[in-house]
Amino acid sequence: MRRHGGPAAAVLIAAMIGCGEAKRLPDEVVGKTETPGPAADPLGPAPAASDPQAKAALDRAVKAVTQGDPARLGRVKATAAVYKGGVHLPNQPAMNDATLYLEVEWPERARIRYEFAEAGHPRIAFHMALPNGWMSVGGAAQPADPAEMGKIISGGLFAQYGVGLGLPLADPRAVAALARQSDGTTGVKLVLPDLPLMLVTFDDKTGLPIRVESNPLEYGNRVTKRITFADHKPHDGLVVPTAIELVQNGRPAEKWTLQKWESPEKIDPAAFEPPK
């Protein structure tokens, strides 16, 4: 695929590596200073209660994803998918060609593997068994707080893939409020327990989700993510996006085209175990 210029951090990758200038300690402490807290979420406060218009948008989207049969969501307890595309690695000037392997048992367990085409880039993998998560590079476990990692993996997973399947939209715990309506789209603020606040935009013509915006805290820093969904096509009874792009902190981070998608009855539990 064509390489895109400009350094950018990949979702789940840059934030989880936990290295770089922001992680270094100063050589000496000059004096006590006040450390400001993280910036407020640009989306504003999460809705405290749902409104009918927002709920109607969620219901319509679920029907669009499931082709009129919301019971089909029960079949995606497990999801396995393969994507081709590219990802920006930390400190890399261009996007690296990669294959993404996704295995999920919603909402508790996941394994996400990045295999790079270019020699010299080891496999990067994330494992999640809530409330914990882990990262490995080249098969070697990386140091990170498992609880923090679990939150980051879960938040990114639901925003970038779960919304496209309709899962958080159909969750009875979801609180949703109408945020905006313009240019043939409807935006809904959506919040679920233990997930970052999301602004989900739906296409008024099809009812399908086409964009997700969120600003989660990752290692105490506010990260801005904008995910777009396109080329929705039927797969195993659901209409899912086959083109997914992520822009993180204003820069391209990931770009994927779906190659294979299925909902197996079960995924080997060993896939979700922490790396050794």
Burial class (CB in 10 A: 0-12, 13-18, 19+), 151: buried
**What distance lies between CA 269 and its chain's CA centroid?**
22
In the predicted structure, residue 225 carries a pLDDT above the cut 50 = yes
Q: Which domains does the chain have, with CATH numbers?
A: 14-18+47-272 (2.50.20.10)
**60-77 as b/e: b if 16+ CB within 10 A:** bbbebbbeeeeebbeebb
pLDDT band for 168, please (50, 70, 90 cuts): very high
Give the pLDDT score at 22: 34
pLDDT band for 27, please (50, 70, 90 cuts): very low
pLDDT band for 13, please (50, 70, 90 cuts): low
| Average pLDDT score over residue span 150-161 | 96
- Give the whole-angstrom CA distance, residue 73 versus residue 239: 11
Predicted TM-score (pTM) of this structure:
0.85
In the predicted structure, residue 89 carries a pLDDT above the cut 50 = yes
In the chain, what is the greatest distance between 2 CA atoms, to the nearest angstrom? 64
| Average pLDDT score over residue span 128-151 | 93
